[in-house]
Structure 1
Amino acid sequence: MAGDDASPPAPTDAQTPSETAKGRLAQVSDHIAPNAQKKRRRSGADSDLPADYSDILGQLSALRKLAATPDPNNRGYVRQKQAGKLWVRERVEQLLDPGSFQEVGSVSGTVKWKQLGPVKEEPVEYVPSNNVQGFGRLRGRKIVFTADDFSIRAGHADGALMDKTIYMEKLSIALQIPIIKLVDGSSGGGSVTTIRTTGFSYVPPLPSFTQVVQQLNMGIPNLGAVLGPAIGLGAARVVACHFSVMAADIGSLFNAGPNVVKNATFEEGLSFTDLGGPAMHCTNGTIDNLAPDEAACFEQMRTVLSYLPDSGTKLPPTIECSDAIDRMSDSLRSIVPRARNRMYDPRRIITEVVDQGSFFEIGALWGTTAIVGLARFDGRPVGIVSLNCEVNAGALDALGSQKITRMLRFLDVFNLPLVQFVDVPGYAIGTVAERTATMRHGVTLATTYYSTTMPIFSVIVRRVYGVAGGIMLDCRDPRMRVAWPSGMWGSLPLEGGIEVGHSFELKEIEKEEGKGKRDERYKELEDEYRRLMNPVRTANHFGVEEIIDPAYTRRVCCEWVSHVYESLLPQRVMERVAGKIRPVFA
């Protein structure tokens, strides 16, 4: 048969088994690589390239060095410094924990190459992409971030910016880690000069907002800072965040700049600050908070993040607390005046009850009839809502309703329980209240209270009247609440309720016996109603579950928050993972 000639000969008496094995091994080797000869390396262009790819690594190093070194002769950099602003990489360095910056897209940009040979070249000019992005840490927490570089094309779109931004938005979702946005410019928004570059104009896309909305509703923290003029898309990106802050010395925000406004509305001579500075947008709710400078913006973002989980499928982070749970506050017994028309400082109640130094207020300059923020009880984060009796007597107006509505959604997506201090005389009334659609926004607040599912604990500090009071206290079943001895409640405040309820009687007395007798009868009715409105009478009928000594409010709240974190929030997180609960922020 064919191949028999190749069969190994049978060992003879002269061959040892070892020699036979060596012969067979030699035959196998010849079969695998017959007459193998060493190949000589061909000469050519590739032979000049280093085997360790040091040429490519050198190009990368050169580009990264150019990107990390500011050009003091660049007019954009000079303009940045003259405006009192940090350069983008200085911002990144100040924001992040030391040594934690890992850039993504470090060499994206426009490069001019010099050819050195058939295949060899080196970069001679480099304009980086005008957005620095990557990973870092804030107080040990891993985050992704984007930071605009206003010194390059004022932050307007370039070839890589949109792709880089969308990639970071997607990474935040895939890795479920917070995203920080430092906005200075248009964050990749359009420029007229783009038409010349591309040779055509385009229908404006907005691909990144699909991911933004997904992040917001997943409870992945989105924190933004306005560190210069935030224009168009840049403005939209920061306003869409869960929390936003503006630097008072350099920040502004608008849909279009003064030159565009001048031609559209004939408003001339507007500065960035006139058009959209802190006095405009930190007082109307567009931006949550105001900070004196860039460093303070970074600190506020670190602080807010410390209360939040990495995503809605995790528990909020807790910390060690040295403030005693059973700390008494004797001052709370007299903080609410017995004279009903006298005001008090509601922030004193909040700071006295929560962990010392833990209250962080959000939106202090807008919607001032309401106070909202974040705090801790025994190291566990919670949301805080209070009405402000020092503004409009605490009556809830349109902006106050919007502010609380936003806060409720914020707490719901981050699994944060709510502790609220209630003193609400009702919705604001009068022509201003009607003109600003108070009831429309009040009803939106009502639907938000009833559609969110985070646990709520209420402390009735003083007044609870009307629809507004009912919404705040009756939105959970069973109700979890306590009242202070200063509590008073009803469908209407006495100041107007007696006039309405006894209108005919009082008018008849005044007509028949004069105004003096009418005032005397009014005083009799007022005294009677005040006696009947003793909060103990309400407790006798279980209309309020418990009236407590205000000095022990902290202990009561700490016990409730502890139970929520031990028993309710773990179950809630499991339901979030299973898709049974789907909070909506946006």
Structure 2
Amino acid sequence: MVSDKNGASRRALERVQQVSSHIAHEKSTKEEVPQPPTRRRKKQPSTSAGPPADYSDRLGQITTLERLARTPDINHRGYARQKKAGKLWVRERVDALLDEGSFQEIGSVAGEVTWSKEKDHDGSEKEVITAFTPSNNVQGYGRLNGRKIVFTADDYTLRAGHADGALMEKTLYIEKLALSLRLPIVKLVDGSSGGGSVTTIRKQGFSYIPPLPAFEQVVAQLNLGIPNLGAVLGPAIGLGAARVTACHFSVMAANIGSLFNAGPQVVKGATFEEGLTMAELGGPDMHCRNGTIDNMARDEHDAFGQIRRVLSYLPNSGFSAPPVIKSSDIPNRREEALRSLIPRRKERMYDPRRLVTLVVDIGSFFEIGALWGTTAIVGLARLDGHPIGIISNNCESQTGGALDALGSQKITKHLKLCDVMNLPILQFVDVPGYAVGTAAERSATMRHGINLAMAYYTTTMPVFSVVTRRAYGVAGGVMLDCRDPRMRVAWPSGDWGSLPLKGGIEVGHSYELKEAARKGGQKLADELHAKLDAEYNTLMNPVRTANAFGVEQIIDPADTRSVVCDWISHAYHELMEERLAKRRAGTLHASFA
């Protein structure tokens, strides 16, 4: 048994030695066979560094172009001409108009670039800018008193604003942008605003039927109530004249502005009027008095101030309410001066602008169109911080307050402006009727008067009327009967009827007066006239009208502000939201254009 165990142990030991010997042999064999060396790839030197990964080359080109665009070439004849005329350069205008630091340019490198090739330090070729003529309008975003807007400004120093110096796509884009974003748009016009020049034909090699791009968008903006505010800051020619005239509000700088369909040279060939200056052809004294342009400004800075002022009353679009601010003027302020403002003698005048300023928030009245259509006064104001439109007859005008053709046109435009901007209207009525006489008939007073009537009856914003004195004829009916139910009050100075007594008695009692003259001479006719006049004056006491509910309420003039402030509070807090909902839903349409 013991010998069996010893044999097994010996065999196991031999087996272990065999395995150990085999392993040692394999290891020595591997060490003797040479292994191929490890090959590492060497980095090959690049023949070209290639464009920079951070696009700094292209960013550098943009920086160069923007620097060239923003730096005036003081030796350029266009820039020298601009300064000699006393005008700001286009980018100086942008800085003067907008809130500091709010300018965000769109199309900053649009224009004509001259490129050339030059060798880089590593021997490669690259493109460099050798010359740049920017597009001759500057546009983008900005802010006016914190309100975001878009704007476009002509650069008259480059091709006088003509099409061959501009890119029409820029103008079209900014008009579309204002419409899409429902942002107010300001247009600073100095030149043709991208209008035509005969040199365009030479450049293109052919003539063309003139297009009118962007006007579809302009009309849509006007009717949607997106504020369009324009300033004439030089010669507004052709398309430039059209663009600013179409605006909701326009202003012309008196020291440098002019506007015309075509300049003096074209006029000379067409009408043989020679030697006309731009001011003589279409200066502010002409166009701020015929209604083409709403307001006159002293200079460019005054024009920018008026644009900022007007915008402060307006919403961004007809889909929103006008901006209400906190007022320091108490709504129930009494004005004792209003009691004696209207003279007892009907032939005497009074200051209607003082009447307006005594009723509205102190310092809030901004008049529009003071130099044209002077038989009417229109503007913007606030009642307890709420923006409103103002309409008043002007007894100090040459017609004594009777509405002529221009006065009717002025109120018509203002009604449409207030309608698209959701501005309730407060009107002070003292109208003896439409203007009469050959001058009135020659100027188509009735045609424009009926256009005014249609504007009153097709607009839908709330209207509150204060009858301060006269309300006669068709004009009185149009102004005071345009809403149902009527929102109106009268003062104790009220005087109304189908015809004024002066002339009305002669018409209504012509037979009796002629018979009296036939029987007793002119003295008897005069006595009868005096008797009839006294009788009618007694019957025309406005209190008698109130007895018959022919006028809803006669108030103390001193209480006028509290009455209209109560009305405007209700109009904004109860009626405005319903109006906005209807406009957004498309069931209520307003139209300016």
The two structures have a TM-score, normalised by structure 2, of 0.91
User: How far apart in 1 are the matches of 2:298 and 2:555?
Assistant: 41
How many angstroms does 1:511 deviate by? 1.4
The structure 2 residue matched to 1:207, chosen from 210, 213, 223, is: 213
The structure 1 residue matched to 2:56, chosen from 45, 54, 57, is: 54
User: Does the C-alpha gap of structure 1 residues 399 and 41 become closer, same or farther in structure 2, counting only changes over 3 Å?
Assistant: farther
The structure 2 residue matched to 1:514, chosen from 514, 521, 537, is: 521
Which amino acid counterpart does residue 536 of structure 1 have in structure 2? V
What is the DSSP-based 3-state SS (H/G/I as helix, E as strand, rest coil) of the residue aligned with 1:55? helix
The structure 1 residue matched to 2:427, chosen from 413, 420, 426, is: 420
User: How far apart in 2 are the matches of 1:313 and 1:42?
Assistant: 65
User: How far apart in 1 are the matches of 2:202 and 2:332?
Assistant: 69
Alignment correspondent of 2:238:
232
Which amino acid counterpart does residue 509 of structure 1 have in structure 2? A
How many angstroms does 1:149 deviate by? 0.1
Asked whether the 8 Å contact 2:159–2:165 carries over to 1, the reply is no
Matched, 1:123 2:129: yes
Alignment correspondent of 2:372:
366
Count of residue pairs the alignment pairs up: 549
User: How far apart in 1 are the matches of 2:204 and 2:47?
Assistant: 38
Alignment correspondent of 1:331:
337
How many angstroms does 1:38 deviate by? 9.2
User: Does the C-alpha gap of structure 1 residues 502 and 39 become closer, same or farther in structure 2, counting only changes over 3 Å?
Assistant: farther
User: How far apart in 2 are the matches of 1:542 and 1:453?
Assistant: 25
Alignment correspondent of 1:349:
355
User: How far apart in 2 are the matches of 1:38 and 1:214?
Assistant: 68
The structure 2 residue matched to 1:253, chosen from 235, 249, 259, is: 259
User: What do the CA deviations read for 1:420-439 (whole angstroms, capped 9, x no partner)?
Assistant: 00000000000000000000
How many angstroms does 1:48 deviate by? 3.1
Alignment correspondent of 1:304:
310
Counterparts of 1:437-456 in structure 2, within 5 Å, are 437-456=444-463
Alignment correspondent of 1:28:
none
Counterparts of 1:266-415 in structure 2, within 5 Å, are 266-391=272-397, 392-415=399-422
Asked whether the 8 Å contact 2:164–2:197 carries over to 1, the reply is no
How many angstroms does 1:51 deviate by? 1.4
User: Does the C-alpha gap of structure 1 residues 343 and 98 become closer, same or farther in structure 2, counting only changes over 3 Å?
Assistant: same
The structure 1 residue matched to 2:571, chosen from 564, 567, 577, is: 564
Asked whether the 8 Å contact 1:129–1:158 carries over to 2, the reply is no
User: What do the CA deviations read for 1:377-432 (whole angstroms, capped 9, x no partner)?
Assistant: 00000000000001111000000000000000000000000000000000000000
User: What do the CA deviations read for 1:330-368 (whole angstroms, capped 9, x no partner)?
Assistant: 010000000010010100100000000000000000000
How many angstroms does 1:517 deviate by? 1.2
User: Percent identity over the alignment?
Assistant: 68
How many angstroms does 1:159 deviate by? 6.4
User: How far apart in 2 are the matches of 1:325 and 1:216?
Assistant: 33
Alignment correspondent of 1:174:
180
What is the DSSP-based 3-state SS (H/G/I as helix, E as strand, rest coil) of the residue aligned with 2:312? helix
User: Does the C-alpha gap of structure 1 residues 52 and 332 become closer, same or farther in structure 2, counting only changes over 3 Å?
Assistant: same
Alignment correspondent of 2:87:
85
Which amino acid counterpart does residue 520 of structure 1 have in structure 2? E
The structure 2 residue matched to 1:145, chosen from 124, 146, 151, is: 151
What is the DSSP-based 3-state SS (H/G/I as helix, E as strand, rest coil) of the residue aligned with 1:352? helix
User: How far apart in 2 are the matches of 1:489 and 1:277?
Assistant: 41
User: Does the C-alpha gap of structure 1 residues 170 and 119 become closer, same or farther in structure 2, counting only changes over 3 Å?
Assistant: farther
Q: Which has the larger radius of gyration?
A: 2
Asked whether the 8 Å contact 1:130–1:158 carries over to 2, the reply is no
What is the DSSP-based 3-state SS (H/G/I as helix, E as strand, rest coil) of the residue aligned with 1:51? coil
User: How far apart in 2 are the matches of 1:405 and 1:42?
Assistant: 79
The structure 2 residue matched to 1:551, chosen from 537, 548, 558, is: 558
What is the DSSP-based 3-state SS (H/G/I as helix, E as strand, rest coil) of the residue aligned with 2:163? coil
Alignment correspondent of 2:25:
none
User: How far apart in 1 are the matches of 2:41 and 2:531?
Assistant: 118
User: Does the C-alpha gap of structure 1 residues 415 and 196 become closer, same or farther in structure 2, counting only changes over 3 Å?
Assistant: same
User: How far apart in 1 are the matches of 2:44 and 2:222?
Assistant: 58
Alignment correspondent of 1:191:
197
Asked whether the 8 Å contact 1:420–1:457 carries over to 2, the reply is yes
User: Does the C-alpha gap of structure 1 residues 468 and 44 become closer, same or farther in structure 2, counting only changes over 3 Å?
Assistant: farther
Which amino acid counterpart does residue 236 of structure 2 have in structure 1? A
The structure 1 residue matched to 2:107, chosen from 105, 108, 113, is: 105
User: How far apart in 1 are the matches of 2:239 and 2:544?
Assistant: 58
How many angstroms does 1:160 deviate by? 4.8
Matched, 1:429 2:436: yes
User: How far apart in 2 are the matches of 1:132 and 1:90?
Assistant: 11
The structure 2 residue matched to 1:536, chosen from 535, 539, 543, is: 543
Matched, 1:523 2:525: no
What is the DSSP-based 3-state SS (H/G/I as helix, E as strand, rest coil) of the residue aligned with 2:164? coil
How many angstroms does 1:96 deviate by? 0.2
The structure 2 residue matched to 1:65, chosen from 64, 67, 72, is: 67
User: Does the C-alpha gap of structure 1 residues 44 and 183 become closer, same or farther in structure 2, counting only changes over 3 Å?
Assistant: farther
User: What do the CA deviations read for 1:240-290 (whole angstroms, capped 9, x no partner)?
Assistant: 000000000000000000000000000000000000001110000000000
Matched, 1:74 2:76: yes
Matched, 1:465 2:472: yes
Which amino acid counterpart does residue 82 of structure 1 have in structure 2? K
Asked whether the 8 Å contact 2:456–2:482 carries over to 1, the reply is yes
Which amino acid counterpart does residue 375 of structure 1 have in structure 2? A
User: Does the C-alpha gap of structure 1 residues 145 and 41 become closer, same or farther in structure 2, counting only changes over 3 Å?
Assistant: farther
